Structure formats: structure tokens, C-alpha cells
Amino acid sequence: MNSDAPHKMGVGRRIGFLAKDSLLYGSAYAFMKGMAFITFPIMTRHFDPAQYGIIDYYGFAIGLIAIVLGFGLDQAIARFFYDDDDVNHRKQVISQALLLNLIALFPVLAVIYLMSGHLTRFAPVTSDTQTLINLLLATAPFMVITAHALNICKWSFARKRYLALAVGSSILRVGVLVTLILVFDVSVVGIFWMNLGLSAVSALMGIVFILPWLSMPRPSRLMISMCTYAPPLWLLSILTLLTPVIERTITESLFGNDALGMYAAGAKVALLMGLAIMAFQMSWGPLAYAIHKEPDAHKTYRLVMKLFTLGSWTLALGLGAVAPLMLALLAPSEYAAGASVTLPLAIAACLLGMTNIVNTGLDLKKRPYLNIPSKLGSIAVGLPTMFLLGGQFGIFGVALGAAVATLTGLLIATWINTKVIDIDWPIKGAAAACLWGLLAASAIEIGRAWLPPSLAYSLSGVMVLLFFTTSFFTIMSKDERNAFTVRARQMLRMRSTG
């Protein structure tokens, strides 16, 4: 039980707390998910684009199945965990949520298995499609247990156990994967057999770590409350992960498995952006919930939104600018076309992160169902847009359609929050920063298409710097700029004296 108490801190210390935990919890989680990027060069040299595209597709599919089987209960724990400081209350929140999940998991898994023959028509065509689907279904329950364990360690601030589970299992996965590729010449199906075995090991480790939080579940109104609170979160999680699955399904249907592999390669570079945002999100949730009863919480929320917008867009533009160079270093030349999707997908990750921050108010008010319209609107706009732009601009058009879909979701979420929640989000400043970012991204893409590489990279560097400078003065108030400058000078002084 950790004694950290962000609700007792001032706004400045909370930002420092958020930064520290982003480096700890978030980076550990990002490291776990980032194994796909670390092993990316080995995978692309062992598998051709069509095979790699199939691995990437089923990788997202298994994540979607795990979310379906989680029923939103792992997220429901987070909201009810902080309602009472009593340890017994918190143990009941965790134990009752796990019991509910286990009761519902196996019947639904059986239904999905019986329907698996129909699911094959939506998957990339291979001779092993049914085998791959069966392996996904066998692996998903272990992923659900591991997700619960990671979240419980995070919400209870059990840092060492979180790091051991997140980082330890990831290192093991990399070691086994590299051995299978270099020594045993593993096949696509072999990769998913490996996932099944290692997921079982991670789940067992997770159970051991959360044993102190488990007690005999006692039926109560709490169980009913979680049952009513979880379904909207469940649907939101499904809709969120459904978007990248749709992207890949459209890419495969329009252009085939080779293009699917190229899209996956460009998306893997964009994953660096997603990992940075995930590092933030993993730490933002506990902080936002812990301080929501404090009178100055809104000041923290506003400042976090400003800093996130400024930092995430700067990172996305920089990553998109160097994507061709990174892909050339990390993958064979047959994957090179995938670099075109990195920038729009990185921007989509920024917009999704902003949406999640804006929706904090709805989560705090226990009204997550109001997040659903933005997700549905995003898919409703994104699906035809991806088809339309994909037909015109290839895989770049599909990625661009994904960014348009995410922007739609952000606009709808912002409108709903302004009508329902009294948090005064910095909408005008954030909108101006997004506009500057889109202009900078357009300039980077135009320069890449029309200028020699050396000039294109130079232009990209100028645009990233211009965006940061312009947006810094647009979105931050004078006092915030002064505080930022003072803090930066202090850090530089400490580094120089150290």
C-alpha cells in the first residue's frame, strides 16, 4: 500500500508527480507493448510483408477479443477503488470485479468459439486461418487476467510488482521470440503458439502479485454498481480497438496482404507515438481520480491538457518527419512504402489522447456512456472515409481516413463535455495548436513529395520547431510560460552542477 497522496499536493507538484509516474508506470507498460517495436527489425527480416501483415492483423484481433472478454470490469475497478480509503472496501472492489469477470468470461468465449467458422471470412486468407483463430481464443483469457493484475498494481501504486510483471514478462517474450526465429526458423503459427504459452506464464505471475488484494467476495450493492458502470466502458474499449482492426481489414481488402504488411510496418513506427501517449495515460488516470474532490483539481486538468497537446503534437510531427529514415534502418526495402502512413497515424494518436483527457470529466461523474457517441461518430465517419481516401491515395489514404475519424471523435467528445461537465477545458488554445499542427504536417508531406530528401528533412525540422514555438505562445498563458521557463532553467542548472 503506497502512501503517495497527490490530492495533498499543489498544481505544480502534481505535474511533477504525473511526470514521474509517467516515466515509471507508463514507461513500463510502454516497454511491455513496445516489444513489438524492438523485435520489429528481426520480424521483418524473417517474414515477408504478407506474413508480417498477417501477424500484425491477428495481434490486434487478439487484443480485441481480450477486451471483449474483459467486459470493462478492469476499468470499473479504477473508478470504485478510490471511493473509499478503507482497505477492505478496496479488496471487495477487486475481488467482486474478478468474480464477475470469471462468471461471464467462459460462456462468452464458448459462443465466440462456436461462431469462429463465420469469423474466418473477415480475416486475411491463409491455410492456417482457423488454427490462428483457435489460438487467439485460447490466449485471450490469460491476457484478461494479466490486464487485471497490471491495473490492480497500478491503482494500488505497487510499483515494484508492476515493473516486475510488465518488464519481466516482456523481456522473457523477446528472448523466446528471438530464439525461435534465429534457431528454430519459427512459422507464423509458431508465433501464436509462443504467445499462448507466455501469456499463461504472465497470468500466473499476475495472480501471485495480486493475492494480497483478494478476499472472499461478498454480494452487495457494490457488485450491482460495477455491473451497471462497466458495460459502457466495455463498449468504449471495443470501439477504440476496433478502429485499427478496421484500418487493416480495409487495407487488406483493397490492396492485399503485401500492402497489409507495409501498412503494419509504418504503423509500427507510429507505435512510438502511441507508446509515449500510453505512458502518459497510464499515469494520468490514477492522478485524475485521486484529486477529483480537491477544489483546485480543474487547474491541474487544464494545465495537463495544454502540456499534453503541445508535447504530443511536437513528438508526432518529429516522428512523422523521420519515418522514412527509420523504416529504411529497421526493415528491408520492400516495406519502404509503409512510411507514408506514420505521420497521419501519429496525429491520430495525438487526437485520441486529447479525447481521453477531455472525457475525464464524464468518467469522474460516472457517466461513461456519454463517451459512446464520439466513438460511434468516429467509426461512422472513418469507415467510408478510409475506403474513399484509400481508393484515391492508397495506404496513405487509409491512414489519413483514420486520422479524420479520430478528429471527428474529438470534436463530438468536446461538444458533449462542454454541455454536461463544468471543467473549463482550454478549447480555443488546443484548437489553435491542432490547426498549427495540421498545417505543419501538410508542409512536411508536401516537402517529402516534391523536394530532394535533404531539403525535405530540413523543411521538416523547421516546421516542427515553428509549430512548438507558435503553439507554446498560443496555448500557454503568460504565467504558465514564465513558470515553464523558470522550471527549465532550474533543471538545466541542476544538470550542469551535477
Determine the Cα–Cα distance for residues 292 and 391; give it in Å rounded to an integer. 46
Question: Are 355 and 407 a contacting pair, CB within 8 Å?
Answer: no
pLDDT given at position 25: 56
CA gap 271, 115 in Å, rounded? 31
Helix (H) or strand (E) holding 140: helix 129-155
Query: 453-497 pLDDT, tens per residue?
Result: 889 889 999 999 999 999 988 888 887 777 777 766 665 565 555
107's CB contacts (< 8 A; 6+ apart) are: none
Answer with the residue of higher pLDDT: 165 or 282: 165
Q: What is the mean pLDDT of the chain?
A: 82
Task: Say what the pLDDT of residue 389 is.
Answer: 95
- pLDDT tier at 436 (50, 70, 90 boundaries)? very high
| pLDDT tens-digit series, residues 78-100 | 767 766 667 787 788 888 888 88
Task: Give the pLDDT of residue 463.
Answer: 94
Interval 37-58: pLDDT, tens: 677 888 888 888 888 888 888 8
Burial pattern 349-381, b for ≥16 Cβ within 10 A else e, equals bbbbbbbbbbbbbbbbeebbebbeebbebbbeb
**3-state SS, residue 443:** helix
pLDDT for 225 beyond 70: yes
Other Cβ atoms closer than 10 A to 197: 12
Give the count of beta carbons closer than 10 Å to the beta carbon of residue 12: 12
Pick the residue with more confidence: 121 or 188? 188
pLDDT attached to residue 380: 93
Can you give the pTM of this predicted structure?
Answer: 0.77
Per-residue confidence (pLDDT) for residue 491, from 0 to 100: 57
pLDDT at 13: 56
Q: How does pLDDT run across 103-119, given as a tens digit for each residue?
A: 888 888 888 888 776 66
Q: What is the pLDDT of residue 443?
A: 93
